Amino acid sequence: MTLNLDNRLKFGVQTIHRRTEPTTGLWLPDEADGRAMVEMIDGLGYDSLWVGDHLSFAIPILDPFIQLAQAATYSSRLELGIGVYLLPLRHPGPVAKQAATLDHLSNGRLIMGVGVGGEFKTDFQVAGVDPSERGARLSEGIEVLRKLWTGLPVSHEGKHFAFPELSMSPPARQTGGPPIWCGGRSAAALRRAGEIANGWLSYVVTPEMYQSSLHRIQDAAAALPDRPFGTGHLLFATVDDTYESALDKATETLSVRYAMDFREAAKKYCALGPPRDVAERLLEFHAAGVRHVIMDFVGPYEDRDRQITRFAEEVLPLMKNLR
Protein backbone atom coordinates (compact mmCIF):
# COMPACT_ATOMS: atom_id res chain seq x y z
CA MET A 1 0.00 0.00 0.00
CA THR A 2 1.18 3.50 -0.82
CA LEU A 3 0.11 6.41 1.38
CA ASN A 4 -1.13 8.81 -1.28
CA LEU A 5 -1.96 11.84 0.85
CA ASP A 6 -4.28 14.58 -0.32
CA ASN A 7 -2.79 18.02 0.24
CA ARG A 8 -6.02 19.29 1.85
CA LEU A 9 -5.93 19.84 5.59
CA LYS A 10 -9.02 19.32 7.75
CA PHE A 11 -9.58 20.68 11.24
CA GLY A 12 -11.70 19.23 14.02
CA VAL A 13 -12.33 20.06 17.66
CA GLN A 14 -12.10 17.56 20.49
CA THR A 15 -14.38 18.51 23.33
CA ILE A 16 -15.85 17.50 26.64
CA HIS A 17 -18.87 19.72 27.25
CA ARG A 18 -19.52 20.17 30.92
CA ARG A 19 -20.32 22.79 33.53
CA THR A 20 -19.87 23.11 37.28
CA GLU A 21 -22.79 24.01 39.53
CA PRO A 22 -21.60 27.23 41.16
CA THR A 23 -22.78 26.62 44.75
CA THR A 24 -21.88 22.96 45.21
CA GLY A 25 -19.02 22.58 42.74
CA LEU A 26 -20.62 19.42 41.35
CA TRP A 27 -20.05 18.53 37.71
CA LEU A 28 -23.22 18.48 35.61
CA PRO A 29 -23.89 17.57 31.96
CA ASP A 30 -25.57 20.44 30.15
CA GLU A 31 -27.75 19.86 27.08
CA ALA A 32 -27.85 23.55 26.19
CA ASP A 33 -24.07 23.77 26.50
CA GLY A 34 -23.70 20.74 24.23
CA ARG A 35 -25.96 22.18 21.54
CA ALA A 36 -24.23 25.56 21.66
CA MET A 37 -20.83 23.90 21.36
CA VAL A 38 -21.74 21.84 18.29
CA GLU A 39 -23.52 24.71 16.56
CA MET A 40 -20.57 27.03 17.21
CA ILE A 41 -18.02 24.56 15.83
CA ASP A 42 -20.19 23.99 12.77
CA GLY A 43 -20.81 27.68 12.19
CA LEU A 44 -17.12 28.58 12.46
CA GLY A 45 -16.27 26.24 9.60
CA TYR A 46 -14.48 23.38 11.32
CA ASP A 47 -14.68 20.00 9.57
CA SER A 48 -15.29 17.62 12.46
CA LEU A 49 -16.18 17.11 16.12
CA TRP A 50 -14.35 14.54 18.25
CA VAL A 51 -14.75 13.08 21.73
CA GLY A 52 -12.57 10.84 23.84
CA ASP A 53 -13.26 7.67 25.81
CA HIS A 54 -12.48 6.43 29.30
CA LEU A 55 -14.46 4.42 31.83
CA SER A 56 -12.61 5.74 34.88
CA PHE A 57 -10.66 8.95 34.34
CA ALA A 58 -9.07 11.79 36.29
CA ILE A 59 -11.83 14.18 35.19
CA PRO A 60 -15.52 13.63 34.31
CA ILE A 61 -16.08 12.28 30.80
CA LEU A 62 -19.22 11.21 28.90
CA ASP A 63 -19.84 8.04 26.91
CA PRO A 64 -18.65 8.79 23.36
CA PHE A 65 -21.45 7.07 21.43
CA ILE A 66 -24.21 8.79 23.36
CA GLN A 67 -22.43 12.13 23.21
CA LEU A 68 -21.95 11.92 19.42
CA ALA A 69 -25.53 10.71 18.87
CA GLN A 70 -26.68 13.91 20.52
CA ALA A 71 -24.22 15.97 18.49
CA ALA A 72 -25.48 14.39 15.25
CA THR A 73 -28.86 16.02 15.82
CA TYR A 74 -27.26 19.48 16.10
CA SER A 75 -25.20 19.39 12.89
CA SER A 76 -25.87 17.67 9.59
CA ARG A 77 -22.42 18.53 8.22
CA LEU A 78 -19.65 17.84 10.73
CA GLU A 79 -17.82 14.53 10.64
CA LEU A 80 -18.05 12.80 14.03
CA GLY A 81 -15.03 11.02 15.47
CA ILE A 82 -14.04 9.05 18.55
CA GLY A 83 -10.44 9.68 19.41
CA VAL A 84 -9.96 6.98 20.56
CA TYR A 85 -12.43 4.31 21.67
CA LEU A 86 -10.87 1.79 24.06
CA LEU A 87 -12.19 -1.27 22.26
CA PRO A 88 -10.23 -3.84 24.33
CA LEU A 89 -12.40 -2.93 27.33
CA ARG A 90 -15.58 -4.13 25.57
CA HIS A 91 -16.99 -7.06 23.65
CA PRO A 92 -16.98 -5.97 19.99
CA GLY A 93 -20.45 -7.40 19.32
CA PRO A 94 -22.44 -4.74 21.21
CA VAL A 95 -19.94 -2.12 20.05
CA ALA A 96 -20.64 -3.06 16.42
CA LYS A 97 -24.34 -2.42 17.02
CA GLN A 98 -23.70 0.95 18.70
CA ALA A 99 -21.34 2.11 15.98
CA ALA A 100 -23.63 0.99 13.15
CA THR A 101 -26.52 2.80 14.81
CA LEU A 102 -24.54 6.03 15.14
CA ASP A 103 -23.36 5.65 11.55
CA HIS A 104 -27.02 5.63 10.46
CA LEU A 105 -28.09 8.46 12.77
CA SER A 106 -25.28 10.62 11.38
CA ASN A 107 -25.86 9.58 7.75
CA GLY A 108 -22.42 7.99 7.45
CA ARG A 109 -20.32 10.67 9.16
CA LEU A 110 -18.66 8.49 11.82
CA ILE A 111 -14.89 7.96 12.06
CA MET A 112 -14.14 5.16 14.50
CA GLY A 113 -10.84 5.81 16.22
CA VAL A 114 -9.72 2.88 18.38
CA GLY A 115 -6.80 2.26 20.71
CA VAL A 116 -5.48 -0.05 23.39
CA GLY A 117 -5.48 2.41 26.31
CA GLY A 118 -3.31 1.59 29.27
CA GLU A 119 -2.48 5.02 30.68
CA PHE A 120 -5.11 4.57 33.40
CA LYS A 121 -5.24 1.17 35.11
CA THR A 122 -8.68 1.97 36.52
CA ASP A 123 -10.17 1.64 33.00
CA PHE A 124 -9.12 -2.00 32.97
CA GLN A 125 -10.02 -2.62 36.60
CA VAL A 126 -13.63 -1.52 36.17
CA ALA A 127 -13.96 -3.54 32.93
CA GLY A 128 -12.30 -6.64 34.39
CA VAL A 129 -9.84 -6.87 31.50
CA ASP A 130 -6.20 -7.95 31.74
CA PRO A 131 -4.08 -5.07 30.36
CA SER A 132 -1.58 -7.55 28.94
CA GLU A 133 -4.27 -8.74 26.50
CA ARG A 134 -5.23 -5.31 25.20
CA GLY A 135 -3.31 -5.44 21.91
CA ALA A 136 -4.64 -8.86 20.93
CA ARG A 137 -8.18 -7.91 21.97
CA LEU A 138 -8.01 -4.77 19.84
CA SER A 139 -6.83 -6.54 16.68
CA GLU A 140 -9.41 -9.30 17.03
CA GLY A 141 -12.09 -6.78 17.97
CA ILE A 142 -11.51 -4.86 14.74
CA GLU A 143 -11.97 -8.07 12.78
CA VAL A 144 -15.28 -8.75 14.54
CA LEU A 145 -16.55 -5.20 13.94
CA ARG A 146 -15.96 -5.44 10.23
CA LYS A 147 -17.63 -8.82 9.98
CA LEU A 148 -20.76 -7.68 11.78
CA TRP A 149 -20.98 -4.36 9.94
CA THR A 150 -21.58 -6.19 6.64
CA GLY A 151 -25.04 -7.34 7.76
CA LEU A 152 -24.30 -10.74 6.18
CA PRO A 153 -24.31 -14.11 7.95
CA VAL A 154 -20.91 -14.38 9.65
CA SER A 155 -19.27 -16.45 12.37
CA HIS A 156 -16.15 -15.97 14.45
CA GLU A 157 -13.86 -18.27 16.39
CA GLY A 158 -10.99 -16.42 18.01
CA LYS A 159 -8.90 -16.36 21.15
CA HIS A 160 -11.05 -13.76 22.91
CA PHE A 161 -14.38 -13.75 21.06
CA ALA A 162 -16.52 -16.43 19.43
CA PHE A 163 -20.03 -16.75 18.02
CA PRO A 164 -21.82 -19.08 15.57
CA GLU A 165 -23.11 -17.96 12.19
CA LEU A 166 -25.46 -15.01 12.59
CA SER A 167 -26.17 -11.61 11.13
CA MET A 168 -26.52 -8.17 12.63
CA SER A 169 -28.77 -5.75 10.79
CA PRO A 170 -28.98 -3.17 9.56
CA PRO A 171 -25.42 -3.09 8.24
CA ALA A 172 -23.42 0.06 8.86
CA ARG A 173 -24.42 3.07 6.78
CA GLN A 174 -20.96 3.38 5.20
CA THR A 175 -19.98 0.52 2.92
CA GLY A 176 -17.69 -1.74 4.91
CA GLY A 177 -18.47 0.22 8.05
CA PRO A 178 -17.05 3.43 9.49
CA PRO A 179 -13.35 3.96 8.75
CA ILE A 180 -11.25 2.60 11.61
CA TRP A 181 -8.31 4.79 12.60
CA CYS A 182 -5.89 3.14 15.02
CA GLY A 183 -4.16 5.17 17.69
CA GLY A 184 -0.88 4.45 19.42
CA ARG A 185 2.84 5.09 19.12
CA SER A 186 4.42 1.71 19.89
CA ALA A 187 5.92 -0.53 17.20
CA ALA A 188 2.97 -2.90 17.58
CA ALA A 189 0.45 -0.06 17.23
CA LEU A 190 2.11 1.29 14.08
CA ARG A 191 2.28 -2.19 12.56
CA ARG A 192 -1.43 -2.72 13.35
CA ALA A 193 -2.31 0.60 11.71
CA GLY A 194 -0.44 -0.33 8.56
CA GLU A 195 -1.78 -3.85 8.33
CA ILE A 196 -5.47 -3.51 9.18
CA ALA A 197 -6.56 0.11 9.74
CA ASN A 198 -8.08 2.78 7.51
CA GLY A 199 -6.02 5.48 9.19
CA TRP A 200 -3.72 6.44 12.04
CA LEU A 201 -4.50 8.90 14.83
CA SER A 202 -1.66 10.10 17.04
CA TYR A 203 -1.21 12.38 20.02
CA VAL A 204 1.72 13.63 22.12
CA VAL A 205 4.18 13.30 19.26
CA THR A 206 6.33 15.91 17.52
CA PRO A 207 6.17 16.44 13.74
CA GLU A 208 9.45 14.56 13.42
CA MET A 209 8.05 11.61 15.38
CA TYR A 210 4.90 11.69 13.27
CA GLN A 211 6.80 11.50 10.00
CA SER A 212 8.99 8.67 11.26
CA SER A 213 5.92 6.74 12.42
CA LEU A 214 4.23 7.16 9.04
CA HIS A 215 7.26 5.58 7.39
CA ARG A 216 6.89 2.58 9.72
CA ILE A 217 3.18 2.33 8.93
CA GLN A 218 4.02 2.43 5.23
CA ASP A 219 6.54 -0.38 5.68
CA ALA A 220 3.91 -2.51 7.47
CA ALA A 221 1.43 -1.91 4.65
CA ALA A 222 3.86 -2.23 1.75
CA ALA A 223 2.72 -5.69 0.64
CA LEU A 224 -1.01 -4.89 0.91
CA PRO A 225 -3.40 -3.53 -1.75
CA ASP A 226 -3.92 0.22 -1.80
CA ARG A 227 -6.76 1.50 0.38
CA PRO A 228 -7.94 4.91 1.56
CA PHE A 229 -5.89 5.91 4.59
CA GLY A 230 -6.47 8.85 6.90
CA THR A 231 -3.70 10.59 8.83
CA GLY A 232 -4.88 12.37 11.97
CA HIS A 233 -3.29 14.03 14.95
CA LEU A 234 -4.81 15.21 18.24
CA LEU A 235 -3.01 18.45 19.04
CA PHE A 236 -3.20 20.22 22.40
CA ALA A 237 -3.26 23.96 21.78
CA THR A 238 -3.69 27.29 23.51
CA VAL A 239 -3.92 30.49 21.45
CA ASP A 240 -2.85 33.48 23.52
CA ASP A 241 -1.02 36.77 23.19
CA THR A 242 2.26 35.33 24.51
CA TYR A 243 3.90 31.92 24.57
CA GLU A 244 4.46 32.10 28.33
CA SER A 245 0.80 32.74 29.12
CA ALA A 246 -0.30 29.94 26.80
CA LEU A 247 2.19 27.54 28.36
CA ASP A 248 0.96 28.32 31.87
CA LYS A 249 -2.68 27.70 30.90
CA ALA A 250 -1.93 24.47 29.03
CA THR A 251 0.24 23.15 31.85
CA GLU A 252 -2.43 23.76 34.50
CA THR A 253 -5.19 22.05 32.51
CA LEU A 254 -3.18 19.07 31.29
CA SER A 255 -1.56 18.44 34.68
CA VAL A 256 -5.03 18.01 36.19
CA ARG A 257 -6.29 15.90 33.27
CA TYR A 258 -3.40 13.45 33.36
CA ALA A 259 -2.61 13.64 37.10
CA MET A 260 1.04 14.57 36.49
CA ASP A 261 3.23 17.62 35.95
CA PHE A 262 2.73 18.27 32.23
CA ARG A 263 4.85 21.41 31.82
CA GLU A 264 7.83 19.89 30.00
CA ALA A 265 5.54 17.75 27.86
CA ALA A 266 3.49 20.83 26.99
CA LYS A 267 6.62 22.59 25.73
CA LYS A 268 7.40 19.63 23.49
CA TYR A 269 4.01 18.56 22.17
CA CYS A 270 1.59 21.50 22.26
CA ALA A 271 0.92 24.36 19.87
CA LEU A 272 1.15 27.48 22.02
CA GLY A 273 1.16 31.24 21.74
CA PRO A 274 0.08 33.86 19.21
CA PRO A 275 -1.89 32.78 16.11
CA ARG A 276 1.08 32.87 13.74
CA ASP A 277 3.16 30.65 16.03
CA VAL A 278 0.32 28.13 16.27
CA ALA A 279 -0.06 28.19 12.47
CA GLU A 280 3.64 27.50 12.03
CA ARG A 281 3.34 24.44 14.24
CA LEU A 282 0.39 23.23 12.17
CA LEU A 283 2.41 23.63 8.98
CA GLU A 284 5.12 21.45 10.49
CA PHE A 285 2.59 18.69 11.13
CA HIS A 286 1.18 19.05 7.62
CA ALA A 287 4.69 18.67 6.18
CA ALA A 288 5.06 15.53 8.30
CA GLY A 289 1.96 13.98 6.72
CA VAL A 290 -0.98 15.03 8.92
CA ARG A 291 -4.15 15.71 6.97
CA HIS A 292 -6.74 15.90 9.76
CA VAL A 293 -5.79 17.93 12.82
CA ILE A 294 -8.03 17.54 15.86
CA MET A 295 -7.63 20.58 18.06
CA ASP A 296 -7.90 20.03 21.81
CA PHE A 297 -7.97 23.56 23.20
CA VAL A 298 -6.57 23.51 26.73
CA GLY A 299 -6.86 26.17 29.36
CA PRO A 300 -9.57 27.41 31.72
CA TYR A 301 -12.98 25.97 30.87
CA GLU A 302 -14.58 29.40 30.84
CA ASP A 303 -12.09 30.36 28.09
CA ARG A 304 -13.10 27.43 25.86
CA ASP A 305 -15.46 29.26 23.52
CA ARG A 306 -13.02 32.12 23.03
CA GLN A 307 -10.26 29.66 22.14
CA ILE A 308 -12.40 27.88 19.57
CA THR A 309 -13.49 31.18 18.05
CA ARG A 310 -10.08 32.82 18.08
CA PHE A 311 -8.47 29.85 16.38
CA ALA A 312 -11.13 29.89 13.65
CA GLU A 313 -10.86 33.63 13.10
CA GLU A 314 -7.10 34.17 13.48
CA VAL A 315 -5.36 30.85 12.73
CA LEU A 316 -7.50 29.16 10.09
CA PRO A 317 -7.16 32.10 7.66
CA LEU A 318 -3.40 31.55 7.78
CA MET A 319 -4.00 27.96 6.61
CA LYS A 320 -6.42 28.81 3.79
CA ASN A 321 -4.11 27.56 1.02
CA LEU A 322 -4.28 24.06 2.55
CA ARG A 323 -8.04 23.91 3.16
Backbone angles phi, psi at 275, to 5 degrees: -50, -45
Domain positions in the chain are 10-231
264's CB contacts (< 8 A; 6+ apart) are none
The residue count of the chain comes to 323
pLDDT score for 28? 53
Residues 206, 208, 209, 214: is their CA dihedral positive or negative? Answer: positive
How far apart are the C-alpha atoms of 99 and 60, rounded to whole Å?
22
CA dihedral (187, 191, 192, 198) in degrees, to 10, reads 130
139's CB contacts (< 8 A; 6+ apart) are 192, 196
Strands 19-20 and 199-203: unpaired
H or E stretch at 203: strand 199-203
pLDDT score for 97? 98
Q: What is the pTM of this model?
A: 0.93
Residues 194, 197, 198, 203: is their CA dihedral positive or negative? Answer: negative
For the beta carbon of residue 282, count every other beta carbon within 10 angstroms: 25
Residues in the chain where the model's pLDDT stays below 50: 21-27
How far apart are the C-alpha atoms of 61 and 70, rounded to whole Å?
15
Question: Do residues 262 and 294 lie in contact, with contact meaning Cβ atoms separated by under 8 Å?
Answer: no
How far apart are the C-alpha atoms of 315 and 277, rounded to whole Å?
9
What's the pLDDT tens digit per position in 212-230? 999 999 999 998 888 889 9
CATH number of 10-231: 3.20.20.30
